[in-house]
Copies of this chain bind each other. A is one copy, B any other.
Amino acid sequence: MTTTTQLTNVLKTLADPTRRAVFERIAREGEVAATWLVQGSKVSQPAVSQHLRALRDAGLVAERREGRHIHYRVAPKGLGPLIDWLGHYQTFWQERFENLEKLLKGSE
């Protein structure tokens, strides 16, 4: 089950554009070292580090240490609270949902 607090956390965490951009890069690139995320970010290394902590605390990313690098990847369950919550509003976005469904079915 998903708690209100978890949902709030996920929403707050994704609401910041800089942090969301970090998340999106991780999602796109599969597994990324923090250094690489700092490169190509507008903000400083500590800022990125803080965002990564927030993403991890929200359950949105997981980390794997390899030597002195830490690789981040998206945590599959992280978006769960958001998905679940949206489930309650099916009726309101049914049309868009159907588009999404097509996408998922791989009908190009």
Cβ-closest chain B residue relative to A16: B8
Task: Report how many copies the assembly holds.
Answer: 2
Q: Provided the pairs A79-B89, A80-B93, A94-B104 are in contact, do residues A17 and B8 lie with their beta carbons within 8 angstroms?
A: yes
Give the residues in chain B near A76, CB-CB below 8 Å: 92-93
Chain A 78-94, CB within 8 Å of chain B: the 1/0 string? Answer: 11101110111110111
**Of the residues B7, B24, B92, B104, contact of A90 by C-beta under 8 Å:** B104
A contact residues, total (Cβ < 8 Å) = 35
Q: Provided the pairs A11-B14, A15-B12 are in contact, do residues A92 and B79 lie with their beta carbons within 8 angstroms?
A: yes
Q: Provided the pairs A14-B11, A27-B88, A88-B27 are in contact, do residues A80 and B96 lie with their beta carbons within 8 angstroms?
A: yes
Q: Which 8 A-B pairs have the closest CB atoms?
A: A11-B15, A12-B15, A83-B96, A15-B15, A79-B93, A76-B92, A87-B100, A83-B93
Chain A 13-50, CB within 8 Å of chain B: the 1/0 string? Answer: 01111001000100100000000000000000000000
